[in-house]
Structure 1
Amino acid sequence: MMKKLVIMLHGVGSYGADLESIARYWQKGVTDLEFASPNAPFHFMNSPDAFQWFSISEINQENRFQRIVEARVAFDQTITTILQQHQMQNHLDQVVFCGFSQGAIMALDAVVSGRWPVAGVIGLSGRLVTPILDGVSKSTQILLMHGEADTVISVQESHLAREQLSLAGFNVHLETFAGLPHAVNQQELERGEMFLKTILGT
């Protein structure tokens, strides 16, 4: 049976191991699922234990996208290394990105820019910053989940992302959760498992 791979992409100021428990939960229900949960390439606030995909220092609506663009080389190197380690370079149809917050931003950027047409994206508490490239593959299925009580990234960002992705032709679904702040709950774990089974098989 073909193995499957989920790559976990953590939020700013966090680290890879922070999302491992989510991937291990999914491993129990999805046959032959492997996972990788790397640290982002850049240190956060000069801390040896906290990382970021791009700097949020003095970030705003005008400069956010440029910072994502500048982060692409390091992001792509991270993904390439993981795919090589798992021998999945030629099996993107069996690979899913799962990103939380800043990790979700990078996961969506990777897909809508056309760089990584993976099987699926699970975007937790994120936003779509990147303009969707004309002619990009729409093969990636996307599940967005967001807490309605999120004060870090508003749930409205996921509503906007769903609208833009849907208009562009992506298969995208959004679920929101009353009372949930900038965090992950059990319902999201269960819904994520169902999503993985649907697009990768059990």
Structure 2
Amino acid sequence: MVALDAVASGRWQIGALVGFSGLLPPQPVSPASRNVPVLLVHGEDDRTIPPLASRLAAAQLGTAGFKVELHVERGTGHTISTAGAQKALSFLKKSLL
């Protein structure tokens, strides 16, 4: 969540961002880091942070011009699954190499 906030606020210029089960407070999103590709991965059965949080974050970032991918995993709670980790690895390889 810290990295998501830092990119959304324009404080961090990084190569790519993967966020697992995160949220972004409703706040203005700076387009300063919009060149940072973002992948949000969230479990559909997450009872700690509802998946709606990632859906809203994706919408906020998308409205500010970010390229955002959202992956909501069926049958997954508040965890990083093997499938989610594989999705992240593929995204990072595609975004950074």
TM-score with structure 2 setting the length: 0.93
Q: Does 1:110 align with 2:6?
A: yes
Quote how far apart the aligned CAs of 1:191 are.
0.6
Q: Determine which structure has greater relative contact order: mean sequence separation of CA pairs < 8 Å that are 6+ residues apart, divided by chain length.
A: 2
Who is 1:138 aligned against?
34
**1:163 correspondence with 2:59:** yes
Residue 146 of structure 1, CA deviation: 0.3
Decide which moves more: 183-192 or 132-141: 132-141
> Take 2:90 and 2:77, find their aligned partners in 1: how far apart are those partners?
22
Note if contact 2:43-2:51 (Cα within 8 Å) is conserved in structure 1. yes
Instruction: List aligned pairs for 1:17-96, cutoff 5 A.
Output: none
What stretches of structure 1 of length at least 5 have no aligned partner? 1-104
Q: Deviations over 1:59-110 (max 9, x none)?
A: xxxxxxxxxxxxxxxxxxxxxxxxxxxxxxxxxxxxxxxxxxxxxx101111
Asked if 2 retains the 8 angstrom alpha-carbon contact of 1:109 and 1:130, the reply is no
Is it true that 1:129 corresponds to 2:25 in the alignment?
Answer: yes
- Show the counterpart of 2:78: 182
Give 1:132 shift: 3.4
How many Å separate the matches in 2 of 1:174 and 1:144?
Answer: 5
Query: What is the CA–CA distance in structure 1 between the aligned matches of 2:23 and 2:2, rounded to whole Å?
Result: 9
Q: Number of residue pairs matched?
A: 97
The percent identity for this pair of structures is 38
Deviation at 1:137, TM superposition (A): 2.8
Match of 1:129, SS?
coil
**Gap regions ≥5 residues in structure 2:** none
Contact 2:38 2:68 in 1 (8 A): yes
The offset of 1:129, in angstroms, is 1.3
Deviation at 1:134, TM superposition (A): 4.1
**1:182 corresponds to which letter in structure 2?**
H
Distance (whole Å) between structure 1 residues aligned to residue 29 and residue 57 of structure 2 = 14
2: CA distance between counterparts of 1:134 and 1:192?
A: 24
Q: Aligned in 2, Cα 1:131/1:192: closer, same or farther, shift over 3 Å?
A: same
CA contact (8 A) 2:29 2:61 kept: no
Question: Which has the larger Rg?
Answer: 1
Q: How far off its partner does 1:133 sit?
A: 4.0
Q: Quote the Cα distance in structure 2 between the aligned partners of 1:141 and 1:132.
A: 18
CA separation in 2, counterparts of 1:192 and 1:142?
10
